[in-house]
């Protein structure tokens, strides 16, 4: 019933003279709002595309790291010379010493490995 009353009021209160300036102001305001909403949508889509592209590139770069690919080539113990084995153990012990809370146990491990390599040959 309320809708019928509103429709009747529209017809009864209809203005004979339409203000052209007010009409143009409302028209331009509505047009600007629509344009702004379209721009926001396009900016949002382009931002999403950039984030997806950067994310995909990052993931593929993390998967195919050159150090991972070359690790087996450089550090396969069967094909390594003695100097390379020693360099490998030195690098490993430096890494373990940096990561460990107990440096002395790392040094003890290093000496055990060195003695086994020295005595085993």
Domain-wise residue ranges, the chain = 2-62, 65-120
pLDDT confidence of residue 121 = 47
Q: What is the pLDDT of residue 79?
A: 61
* Average pLDDT of the residues in 72-84: 63
pLDDT at 29 over 50: yes
How many residues does this entry show for the chain? Answer: 121
Burial of 28 (0-12, 13-18, 19+ CB in 10 A): exposed
Task: Give the mean model confidence (pLDDT) for residues 83-107.
Answer: 79
| pLDDT class of 67 with cuts at 50, 70, 90 | low
Question: For residue 80, with 0-12 CB atoms within 10 Å meaning exposed, 13-18 middle and 19 or more buried, which class applies?
Answer: middle
Angle between helices 103-120 and 82-99 (to 10 degrees): 160
């Amino acid at each position: 019933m309320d809708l019928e009353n509103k429709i009747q009021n529209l017809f009864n209160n209809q203005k004979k003279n339409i203000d052209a300036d007010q009409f143009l102001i409302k028209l331009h305001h509505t047009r600007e709002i629509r344009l702004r909403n379209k721009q926001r949508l396009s900016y949002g889509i382009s931002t999403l595309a950039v984030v997806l592209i950067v994310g995909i590139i990052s993931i593929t770069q993390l998967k195919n790291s050159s150090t991972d690919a070359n690790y087996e080539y450089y550090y396969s113990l069967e094909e390594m010379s003695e100097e390379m084995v020693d360099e490998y153990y030195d690098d490993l012990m430096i890494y373990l010493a940096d990561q460990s809370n107990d440096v002395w146990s790392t040094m003890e491990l290093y000496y055990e490995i060195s003695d086994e390599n020295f005595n085993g040959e």
